[in-house]
Amino acid sequence: MSSPSFNVEEHKKMLQSYFNGQGFQRWASIYGDDKLSTVRSTVRQGHAVMMDKAFEWLQKTGLPKGSKILDAGCGTGLFTIRLAKSGYRVKAADIAEQMVNKTREDAEKAGVAGNVEFEVNSIESVSGTFDAVVCFDVLIHYPAEGFAHAFSNLAGLTKGPIIFTYAPFNNILAFQHWIGGFFPKKERRTTIQMIKDKEMQRVLSELGLKIVSQQKISFGFYHTMLMHVARR
Ligand SMILES: C[S@@+](CC[C@H](N)C(=O)[O-])C[C@H]1O[C@@H](n2cnc3c(N)ncnc32)[C@H](O)[C@@H]1O
Ligand 1 atom showing the smallest separation from residue 78 Cα: 9
Residue 188 has pLDDT above 50, yes or no: no
What residues form DSSP beta bridges with 217?
224
User: What is the reported pLDDT for 6?
Assistant: 82
Q: Ligand 1 pocket: which of 12, 94, 183 to mutate (most atoms <8 Å of CB)?
A: 94
Interval between CA 77 and ligand 1 midpoint (Å): 10
Ligand 1: residues whose CB is within 6 Å?
12, 15, 19, 27, 31, 73-75, 78-79, 94-96, 99, 122-124, 136-138, 141
Interval between CA 94 and ligand 1 midpoint (Å): 6
Residue 230 has pLDDT above 50, yes or no: yes
pLDDT greater at residue 89 or residue 1: 89
Residue 199 has pLDDT above 80, yes or no: yes
- Alpha carbon nearest to ligand 1 atom 27, residue: 75
Write out pLDDT tens, residues 96-154. Answer: 999 999 999 999 999 999 999 999 999 999 999 999 999 999 998 888 888 999 999 99
pLDDT band at 189 (very low <50, low <70, confident <90, very high): very low
Interval between CA 27 and ligand 1 midpoint (Å): 10
Interval between CA 75 and ligand 1 midpoint (Å): 5
Interval between CA 74 and ligand 1 midpoint (Å): 6
Q: Would you say domain 2-231 falls under CATH 3.40.1380.10?
A: no
User: What is the reported pLDDT for 187?
Assistant: 47
Interval between CA 67 and ligand 1 midpoint (Å): 22
Residue 71 has pLDDT above 90, yes or no: yes
Residue 182 has pLDDT above 70, yes or no: no
pLDDT band at 178 (very low <50, low <70, confident <90, very high): low
Q: What does pTM read for this prediction? A: 0.93
Contact 26, 19 (CB under 8 A): no
Contact 70, 158 (CB under 8 A): yes
Residue 175 has pLDDT above 80, yes or no: no
User: What is the reported pLDDT for 72?
Assistant: 98
pLDDT band at 2 (very low <50, low <70, confident <90, very high): low
Q: What is the mean pLDDT of the chain?
A: 90
Domain ranges of the chain: 2-231
Q: Ligand 1 pocket: which of 11, 70, 95 to mutate (most atoms <8 Å of CB)?
A: 95
